[in-house]
Amino acid sequence: MRVIFMGTPDFSVPVLDALVAAGQEIAAVYCQPPRPAGRGKKDRPTPVHARAEALGLTVRHPVSLKSAQEQDAFAALKADVAVVVAYGLLLPQPILDAPLQGCLNIHASLLPRWRGAAPIHRAIMAGDAQTGICIMQMEAGLDTGPVLLQQATDIGLQETTAQLHDRLSHMGSDLIVAALTRLPHLTPEPQPRDGVTYASKIDKSEARIDWTRTATEVDRQIRGLSPFPGAWTEIDGQRVKLLASCLAEGQGTTGEVLDDNLTVACGEGAVRLLRLQRAGKGAQDAEEFLRGWNVATGSRL
């Protein structure tokens, strides 16, 4: 099958690899343009761009797909199907209509729950027990198209967005290969009207920990925002990112450190901090972090 692949971040890379390994003909790879990064602020190719070049594939990175010129170039590829995963640009109707069998999106939720930009973060922050992958036939609405295939998975009690992200990426890779193999025989199922929720983009203003909230809410916030943007608190007046946690027993004044294992009291219950990151430093497990910073029992975060 002749495939146009459209993706940009790390999440999309295993999908591209899976399509190549399955013997699909990649007509072109579309991704977002290189952007300034690092200390020198030099243009850096996106993860998909770098991987596609390593595979010897044709890469295109238009700023927009709204022009007739870009739409004609896309249609000229004469693709059977386009596979879209975390591409990051809106697809106008002429793009959606160009491939013979349309555009298929790999979405990291069980639609119609968590349509939109940040479904993995939002599922963990909301305390969902399950999430999954949907292979969806794309249409003009935001993640509103009919679903061809889906697969559910449980969310681990201590799982972070980073960990779930990697699992779902590989699930999506397997599911899209299966979908392309079975495409002529799959029946698109319209999404239910009930249960629609939207996964709005994560804002950095959501990252500061409010220790008056319940331990369950704080734990979900820490895991849901790990690694980016990273939930944070202040220890001795210095900002520290909190990257992993679990629920713990204990009670005290909100934000109080209850023991020498970084158990912290919340408005209700307590959480134990498992992984932290100081400004300008690498992430550390709690035991290593405490060797370099004595956070006294009874101190307040």
Q: How large a percentage of the chain has pLDDT more than 90?
A: 95
pLDDT value at residue 285? 97
Judged against a pLDDT cut of 80, whether residue 39 lies above it is answered with no
Judged against a pLDDT cut of 90, whether residue 37 lies above it is answered with no
- Nearby residues of 286 by Cβ (< 8 Å), 6 or more positions away: 261, 262, 272, 273, 274, 275, 276
- Tens digits of per-residue pLDDT, 81-128? 999 999 999 899 999 999 999 999 999 999 999 999 999 999 999 999
Residue bearing tokens 């799959």: 186
DSSP three-state, residue 135: strand
- State phi, psi for 214 to the nearest 5 degrees: -70, 160
- Summary mean pLDDT of the chain: 96
pLDDT value at residue 46? 96
- Tens digits of per-residue pLDDT, 59-89? 999 999 999 999 999 999 999 999 999 999 9
Distance between CA atoms of residues 24 and 27, nearest Å: 9
- Tens digits of per-residue pLDDT, 193-205? 999 999 999 999 9
Over residues 154-180, the mean pLDDT reads 97
